[in-house]
């Protein structure tokens, strides 16, 4: 793990007030501990030991362990979303944008492995994480459904199923899987979940990935 990865948010907070720097250090600490030891072992004590932040100071920034972990996951997701939106804006709202967003989410999440580990742990565990991406996801689903490109209407369960597929894909890449193959397979699985036939899904994936390459 490189220094940049260990201190990603801390470096971003350089030059800011001490409160912002301490909060950033706690976010980086949570990400690092989750990546090394897993979500269940990421206690407040483990994070404060890793960062050198006093235990009492922790509560000036976060209410409890869950607040820290959700905040860290959302911070990571917001960073990933910068790259996702830059790629997705090349497409109008709809199924193509949905595919590109799914693929870029996986790619961005594994580009800093600690980010990927945290998201895998957080997706499905904390609804607030899925809620963060739901508005953009739902907009693309509605546009694709209205156009008749997909046959399944957007629902909260569908959002969660797509989130679970993305989490599984990130986990597979982190375990040594090939990024390009897994992103294509995941995009195809999402389109099948949305009601496209195998041939339709294959055609959509091929078209979108051709533009990406």
Q: How far apart are CA 187 and CA 205, in angstroms?
A: 7
Q: Are residues 39 and 134 in the same domain?
A: no
Q: Are residues 15 and 76 in the same domain?
A: no
Q: Are residues 83 and 172 in the same domain?
A: yes
Domain boundary among 62, 85, 102: 62
Q: List the single range of 52-61, 105-114, 118-127, 187-196 with lowest mean pLDDT.
A: 118-127
What's the farthest any 2 CA atoms get from each other in the chain? 58
Q: Are residues 179 and 93 in the same domain?
A: yes
Give the mean model confidence (pLDDT) for residues 183-206. Answer: 95
* pLDDT higher than threshold 90 for residue 194: yes
State pLDDT tens for residues 83-134.
898 888 888 888 999 999 999 999 999 999 999 999 999 987 888 888 888 8
Domain boundary among 23, 42, 62: 62
Decide: 94 and 149 in contact? Cβ < 8 Å.
yes
Q: Are residues 32 and 100 in the same domain?
A: no
Domain count, the chain: 2
* pLDDT higher than threshold 60 for residue 189: yes
Q: Are residues 164 and 79 in the same domain?
A: yes
Q: Are residues 80 and 130 in the same domain?
A: yes
Give the mean model confidence (pLDDT) for residues 168-185. Answer: 95
The secondary structure of 113-170, three-state, reads HHHHHHHHHHCCCCHHHHHHHHHHHHHHHHHHHHCCCCCCCCCHHHHHHHHHHHHHHH
State pLDDT tens for residues 63-90.
999 999 999 999 999 999 998 988 888 8
Q: Are residues 167 and 150 in the same domain?
A: yes
SS3 state of residue 92: coil
State the pLDDT at residue 133: 81
Residue 108 sits in a domain of what CATH number? 1.10.357.10
User: Which has the closest alpha carbon to 112: 204, 35, 16?
Assistant: 35
Q: Are residues 95 and 119 in the same domain?
A: yes
State the pLDDT at residue 6: 62
How large is the C-alpha radius of gyration of the chain? 18
Is the pTM of the predicted complex or chain greater than 0.85? Answer: yes
How many whole angstroms from its chain centre is CA 112? 11
Domain boundary among 62, 77, 101: 62
Q: How far apart are CA 79 and CA 20, in angstroms?
A: 17
How far, in Å, are 41, 83, 166, 191 from residue 30 at the CA level? 10, 23, 21, 34
Q: Are residues 106 and 200 in the same domain?
A: yes
Structural domain of 20: 3-62
Q: List the single range of 12-21, 76-85, 124-133, 159-168 with lowest mean pLDDT.
A: 124-133
Give the mean model confidence (pLDDT) for residues 145-149. Answer: 88
Residue 47 sits in a domain of what CATH number? 1.10.10
Q: Are residues 95 and 194 in the same domain?
A: yes
Give the mean model confidence (pLDDT) for residues 182-201. Answer: 96
């Amino acid at each position: 793990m490189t220094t940049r990865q260990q201190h990603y948010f801390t470096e971003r907070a350089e030059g800011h007030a001490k409160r912002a720097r301490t909060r950033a250090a706690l976010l980086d600490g949570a990400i690092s501990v989750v990546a090394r030891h897993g979500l269940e072992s990421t206690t407040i004590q483990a994070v404060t030991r890793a960062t050198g932040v006093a235990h009492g100071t922790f509560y000036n920034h976060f209410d409890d362990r869950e607040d820290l972990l959700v905040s860290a996951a959302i911070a990571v997701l917001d960073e990933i979303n910068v790259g996702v939106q830059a790629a997705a804006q090349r497409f109008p709202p709809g199924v193509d944008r949905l595919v590109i967003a799914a693929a870029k989410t996986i790619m961005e999440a594994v580009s800093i492995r600690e980010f990927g580990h945290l998201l895998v742990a957080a997706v499905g565990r904390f609804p607030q994480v899925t809620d963060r991406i739901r508005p953009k996801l739902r907009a693309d689903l509605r546009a694709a459904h209205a156009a008749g490109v997909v046959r399944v209407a957007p629902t909260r369960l569908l959002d969660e199923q797509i989130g679970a597929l993305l989490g599984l894909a990130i986990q597979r890449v982190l375990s040594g899987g090939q990024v390009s193959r897994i992103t294509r397979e995941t995009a195809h699985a999402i389109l099948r979940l949305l009601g496209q036939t195998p041939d339709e899904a294959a055609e959509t994936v091929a078209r979108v990935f051709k533009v990406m390459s």
